[in-house]
């Protein structure tokens, strides 16, 4: 464990495209909060490759660069460190839990079908988008807690997306079991423009709101509309719901446990 003075840390379990950037901005309005969406190093690319290919223990020291970077960021700063990077649950949760004592985690969810739609419209898990492999694991990668419904070669874009999203939810369930003493707070991004929900979350996290908190909460959440327009790949939301239902049905038929916490219903 790092020997310098400790400070509270808040991280986020999220799949991506579920409002993590917005959450960082929202929590950043709190008093004495140093908030980041994806602070360097982002722990993507080669760090993701390390955990996708080998057991966590074999790369732990290499990935401890994240703990050291957090310490460097907080030098001369007071308050709580917040990072809502969705790589937390994939590439650095274990090292920060070893190195920091006062850690809380927000589980941020958005209706699953809308996340699938966003992923598909951004052409994630296809050759049209070259960025996604730096950020996302294929279903069934090393250290994944759940198996995909079939081999990667036989899964289309929607099955790969849904498999990845279910995997993230399963990682969150495993995290709870591995770290029962970590305070975990669940929220849906769809509610985080409602004053009561915002105040409730920040109060739970021990963050004092400021006048700018509700100002941020009333702003539209980023939808990456410009990036989606570049791909020109609109996807029907009802089709996403159909594909999720089919995936879950196949998983259950194969005896693959699907987390019961999946956000299948709109808020």
Residue numbers of the domain that contains 17: 9-253
What is the β-pairing status of strands 80-83 and 103-109? unpaired
User: CA 92, CA 201: separation in Å to the nearest integer?
Assistant: 24
User: CA 11, CA 239: separation in Å to the nearest integer?
Assistant: 32
Long-range contacts of 129-138 (CB under 8 A, 24+ apart): 129/231, 134/44, 134/45, 134/48, 135/16, 135/44, 135/48, 135/86, 135/87, 136/16, 136/48, 136/164, 137/48, 137/51, 137/52, 137/90, 137/164, 137/167, 138/52, 138/163, 138/164
| CATH classification of the domain holding 69 | 3.40.50
Q: What is the mean pLDDT of the chain?
A: 95
- Given a contact cutoff of 8 angstroms between Cβ atoms, the answer to whether 254 and 149 are in contact is yes
What are the two backbone dihedrals, phi and then psi, of residue 185, each rounded to the nearest 5 degrees?
-125, 125
CA-based radius of gyration for the chain: 18
Q: What is the pLDDT of residues 211-229, one digit of tens each?
A: 999 999 988 766 667 777 7
pLDDT band at 231 (very low <50, low <70, confident <90, very high): confident
What are the two backbone dihedrals, phi and then psi, of residue 186, each rounded to the nearest 5 degrees?
-100, 140
Q: What is the pLDDT of residues 88-118, one digit of tens each?
A: 999 999 999 999 999 999 999 999 999 999 9
Tally the domains of the chain. Answer: 1
The arithmetic mean of pLDDT across residues 112-137, rounded, is 97
Q: What is the pLDDT of residues 61-81, one digit of tens each?
A: 999 999 999 999 999 999 999
Closest CA to 70 of 136, 168, 4: 4
The arithmetic mean of pLDDT across residues 151-157, rounded, is 97
Q: 137 lies in a domain?
A: yes
pLDDT at 44: 98
Q: 1 lies in a domain?
A: no
How far, CA to CA in Å, does 39 sit from each of 64, 78, 214, 230? 14, 17, 24, 26
Closest CA to 116 of 128, 129, 125: 125
The arithmetic mean of pLDDT across residues 40-56, rounded, is 98
Strand order across the 183-188 sheet = 33-36, 80-83, 9-13, 103-109, 183-188
pLDDT at 222: 61
Q: 128 lies in a domain?
A: yes
The arithmetic mean of pLDDT across residues 255-267, rounded, is 97
Q: 210 lies in a domain?
A: yes
Q: 108 lies in a domain?
A: yes
Q: 266 lies in a domain?
A: no
Length reported for the chain: 267
Q: 192 lies in a domain?
A: yes
pLDDT at 40: 98
pLDDT at 6: 85
CB within 8 Å of 158: residues ≥ 6 apart: 116, 120, 240, 243, 247
């Amino acid at each position: 464990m790092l020997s310098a003075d400790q400070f509270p840390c808040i991280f986020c379990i999220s799949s991506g495209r579920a409002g993590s950037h917005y959450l960082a901005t929202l929590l950043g309005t709190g008093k004495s909060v140093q908030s980041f969406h994806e602070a360097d190093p982002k722990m993507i690319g080669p760090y993701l490759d390390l955990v996708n290919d080998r057991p966590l223990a074999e790369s732990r020291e290499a990935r401890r660069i994240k703990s050291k970077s957090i310490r460097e960021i907080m030098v001369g700063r007071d308050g709580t460190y917040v990072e809502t990077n969705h790589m937390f649950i994939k590439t650095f949760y274990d090292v920060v839990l070893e190195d920091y004592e006062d850690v809380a985690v927000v589980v941020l969810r958005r209706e699953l079908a809308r996340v699938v739609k966003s992923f598909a419209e951004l052409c994630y898990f296809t050759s049209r988008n070259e960025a996604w492999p730096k950020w996302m694991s294929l279903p069934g990668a090393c250290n994944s807690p759940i198996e995909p419904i079939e081999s990667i070669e036989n899964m289309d874009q929607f099955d790969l997306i849904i498999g990845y999203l279910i995997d993230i939810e399963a990682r969150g369930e495993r995290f709870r079991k591995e770290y029962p003493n970590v305070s975990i707070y669940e929220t849906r991004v769809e509610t985080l423009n409602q004053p009561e929900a915002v105040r409730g979350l920040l109060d739970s996290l021990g963050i004092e709101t400021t006048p700018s908190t509700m100002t941020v909460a009333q702003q539209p959440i980023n939808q990456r509309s410009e990036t989606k327009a570049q791909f020109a790949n609109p996807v029907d939301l009802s089709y996403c719901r159909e594909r999720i239902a089919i995936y879950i049905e196949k998983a259950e038929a194969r005896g693959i446990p699907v987390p019961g916490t999946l956000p299948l219903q709109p808020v």
